[in-house]
Amino acid sequence: MICIAIDGPAGVGKSSVSRQLADEYGLAYLDTGAMYRAATWWCLKEGVALDEPQAVVDAVRDFLDNHVTFVIDPQEPAVVSDDEDVTSQMHSEEVSAHVSQVAAIPQVRELLIAAQRKEIEAQANPDSFSQGLGIVAEGRDITTVVAPRAEVRVLLTASEEVRQARRNHQAQQGQSGKDDVAARDAADSQVNNFTSAAEGVITIDNTHMDLQQTLDSFRRIVDQAF
């Protein structure tokens, strides 16, 4: 089974790259940011006080056990909650503004990391994704914590200005709500180091690259690894 792990800060283009790579190589696609976003969306919807960690942990456990399915098909990745497709709500301004607070709670991370490893391991013995050749997983701690033994591990970075500009462009196109990438990075980097590469992790800086050039860099690395 192939596992490609990709980490990086907000707005760097991880999702576009990971999804396209997964599609090209016939792999599943796990957007772990979407899992933290979904947990946050649920807590907001249920009126859980985000400054009460135990209440958040209980709500997230119930959500994962009883109310959510993550669809890991790169052609149509989705978050389905109680039979409703809620994917489009994951990038709302409200979710983006609160997700770092939820993701900083250690027990929330434990629950989500366990769920992520389960999804990755299920690809070795698939029943939900047809090919089962492997998976591309992206986030902030995939190369270091979730899948440190992945065959390919990449840290994707770009300057803050470029990342904020890309996110603003997405917001203008209606693909996401307003999102302060610097604030999110500052909060998230208290929890995980995704600004410098861990040992054995390859860095790609795509400040001066478009999506196609970024994909070409990844293809070279993946083709060399397999």
Given the complex with ligand C5P, which of 26 and 187 has the nearer CB atom?
187
User: Mask: binding to ligand C5P, 130-169, rule CB under 6 A, as x and -?
Assistant: ---------xxxx---------------------------
Shortest Å distance, C-beta 103 to ligand C5P:
3
User: Could you say which of 99, 115, 197, 204 contacts ligand C5P (CB under 6 A)?
Assistant: 99
| 154 and 201 Cβ atoms separated by less than 8 Å | yes
CA 161 vs CA 10, 48, 157, 158, 164: distances in Å:
11, 34, 12, 8, 5
Residue 218 and residue 223: Cα distance in Å, rounded? 8
Q: Binding to ligand C5P by residue 103, rule CB under 6 A?
A: yes
Q: Least separation, in Å, of the C-beta of 169 and ligand C5P?
A: 15
Question: Is 32 among the residues that bind ligand C5P (CB under 6 A)?
Answer: yes
Of the ranges 125-133, 156-164, 168-176, 183-191, which one interacts with ligand C5P (CB under 6 A)?
Answer: 183-191
How far apart (Å, rounded) are the C-alpha atoms in residues 29 and 20? 9
Residue 111 makes contact with ligand C5P by CB under 6 A: no
| Nearby residues of 176 by Cβ (< 8 Å), 6 or more positions away | 91, 96, 167, 170
Q: Where are the alpha helices (DSSP H) in the chain?
A: 14-25, 32-46, 53-62, 93-103, 106-122, 160-172, 181-188, 211-225
> Looking at beta carbons only, is 123 or 185 nearer to ligand C5P?
185
Q: Please say whether the beta carbons of 32 and 137 come within 8 A.
A: yes
Placement of tokens 């389960």 in the chain: 118
What CA–CA distance (Å, rounded) separates 183 from 185?
Answer: 6
13 is in an annotated binding site: yes
User: Does 92 show up as a binding residue in the annotation?
Assistant: no
13 binds ligand C5P (CB under 6 A): no
Decide: is 119 part of the binding site for ligand C5P (CB under 6 A).
Answer: no
| Stretch binding ligand C5P (CB under 6 A), from 29-37, 59-67, 124-132, 218-226 | 29-37
184 forms part of the interface with ligand C5P (CB under 6 A): yes
Where does residue 15 fall: left (phi above 0), alpha (psi -120 to 50 degrees), or beta otherwise?
alpha
β-bridge mates for residue 154, sequence order: 6, 202
Closest CB 181 distance from ligand C5P, rounded Å = 8
Question: Scanning residues 38 to 97, which ones bind ligand C5P (CB under 6 A)?
Answer: none
Binding residues (CB under 6 A) for ligand C5P: these are 10, 32-33, 36-37, 99-100, 103, 139-142, 184, 188, 191
Binding site for ATP, by residue number, is: 8-16
